[in-house]
Amino acid sequence: MSASILVLVYLLLALFDKQHKHTICKGVMAFAILGLVLSDRSTADSHIAVQPTGGKDTLKSAFGEWFAMGAAIPGDDLSQAERQLLFRHFGTVTPENCMKPALVHPAPDRFDFAKADALVDLARGNGLTVNGHTLVWHQQCPDWFFRDGAQVAGRELVLARLRAHITAVAGHFAGKLKSWDVVNEAIDDGHDYLRKSPWLTGIGDDFIAEAFIAARKADPKAELYYNDYGIELQPKRDKMLRLLGDLKQRRAPVQGVGIQGHWRIDHIPFKDIEAAIVAFHAEGMRVAITELDIDVGTRATAGAESGTREQDAADPLANGLTADLQRRLADQYGQLFALFFKHRDKISRVTFWGLQDGRSWLNYWPSKRTNHPLLWDRALQPKPALAAVLAAAKAEPPNAPPAGSGPAAPPKASQGH
């Protein structure tokens, strides 16, 4: 019963018994307060975590009108404080590892969806969408895909296994995911066009198209992306454009390109990023920034090949960032989001690769060291970089799309099969 109804009851009773007016008033008001408390408790308990709301002081309120704001998470094993942070600032999640082939399909006749299912349930139960990551990758992929007993498997067997894997995994989540990173990191870092992975050697250069065709059959509604690092730079950008042409010719239903965005402080190629966003969108693609972080440490490795390792050395940032590093990190995140906001008519999503500094893969890659690449520190306190990112949404850049023109919509989508 609402408080307004209880007050009405009080007024009616007061007409008949003025002598007991004060007694009735106290009883009714106490009952009303109890009802409101129970109502609030019921509302809070219906969600996994409280979801505060506000103005433009959260990532999703600042940018959500234009593109989704996301974070990569390991699964549903987040603290209550991390859940509150996630639900308040983000509208979508990407699983870091639990949907990769080695985790969900460790043996030919065995699937394990438990952790991935828990992540999907956590996200969807709290109003977040999910981007699947990833169906086909050369890392974290069991050898059995490419073996025929003691021999190397032939093309038809590897292709059948690729199709069966995608059918099972994408089919398992069909209708529950917003999008998929269908193929991950298939472009070569060197002079070759495609990486010489077991998928390429086992099937041939049509394995990427076959993966997209199988993904579309398994989930007719999910947005399908190709995802890679360094494709904003030449010569990988031209290879990416060549791949899009090849996929269209093969009638593969690619709809978007994911630029991972694993960048290093003071080495962010802003002009190349902008050129890539424009070029990929001109090909009819949705463009997503899929794995964003800014490495504040030093390393020799330029790319983001997860198989590369460097020897563990000193840990100069173990006690936190210097004031100068904090300032530079904030400034460069601000510049990135000013660029994303400028091209908000082309971008579908920006996802950080981790929720807070303590969760970042950069604490372990390419060597073990303390890193601080994200917007929140290990105590879940916002860094100056968060304010710089939010400020980017308040500045209207020149030649920006008019307010209300909505999120990214490619000029022509490649439908394929």
pLDDT of residue 34: 35
User: What CATH superfamily classification does 59-392 receive?
Assistant: Glycosidases (3.20.20.80)
pLDDT of residue 343: 98
Q: What is the pLDDT of residues 173-223, one digit of tens each?
A: 999 999 999 999 999 999 999 999 999 999 999 999 999 999 999 999 999
Cα–Cα distance for residue pair 355/377, rounded to 1 Å: 9
pLDDT of residue 366: 74
pLDDT of residue 304: 60
| The overall pTM is greater than 0.75 | yes
For the chain, the farthest-separated pair of C-alpha atoms sits apart, in whole angstroms, at 97
- pLDDT of residue 332 exceeding 60, the answer is yes
68 HSE (CA, 13 A, CB side): 22
pLDDT of residue 298: 78
Q: What is the pLDDT of residues 56-78, one digit of tens each?
A: 899 999 999 999 999 999 999 99
Q: Roughly how many angstroms between the first and final C-alpha of the chain, as a whole number?
A: 55
Among the listed ranges 40-54, 117-131, 259-273, 380-394, which one has the minimum average pLDDT value? 40-54
pLDDT, mean over the chain: 85
Domain boundaries, the chain: 3-45, 59-392
Query: Which residues are bridge partners to 288 per DSSP?
Result: 258, 349
Nearest by Cα to 58 from 40, 84, 78 = 84
pLDDT of residue 305: 63
Catalytic residue among 82, 96, 185, 283: 185
Mean pLDDT of 321-327: 97
pLDDT of residue 314: 83
- pLDDT of residue 264 exceeding 60, the answer is yes
pLDDT of residue 99: 98
**Band of residue 408 on the pLDDT scale cut at 50, 70, 90:** low
- pLDDT of residue 299 exceeding 50, the answer is yes
- The CA–CA distances, whole Å, from 23 to 10, 287, 312, 367, 390 equal 10, 66, 75, 72, 53
Q: Which of 114-123, 291-300, 393-402 shows the highest mean pLDDT?
A: 114-123
| More confident position, 388 or 316 | 388
- pLDDT of residue 137 exceeding 60, the answer is yes
pLDDT of residue 313: 72
Structural Rg of the chain based on CA atoms: 25
Residue with tokens 């009952």: 31
pLDDT of residue 395: 80
Cα–Cα distance for residue pair 171/81, rounded to 1 Å: 33
pLDDT of residue 387: 98
DSSP line for 231-266: TTSTTHHHHHHHHHHHHHHTT----EEEE--EEETT
Mean pLDDT of 260-278: 98
pLDDT of residue 410: 47
| More confident position, 37 or 377 | 377
Q: What is the pLDDT of residues 73-93, one digit of tens each?
A: 999 999 999 999 999 999 999
Q: What is the pLDDT of residues 233-256, one digit of tens each?
A: 999 999 999 999 999 999 999 999
Mean pLDDT of 109-128: 98
Nearest by Cα to 112 from 50, 168, 153 = 168
185 is catalytic: yes
Among the listed ranges 204-208, 221-225, 312-316, 322-326, which one has the minimum average pLDDT value? 312-316
pLDDT of residue 20: 40
Catalytic residue among 96, 210, 223, 291: 291
pLDDT of residue 306: 58
- pLDDT of residue 17 exceeding 70, the answer is no
Cα–Cα distance for residue pair 153/145, rounded to 1 Å: 8
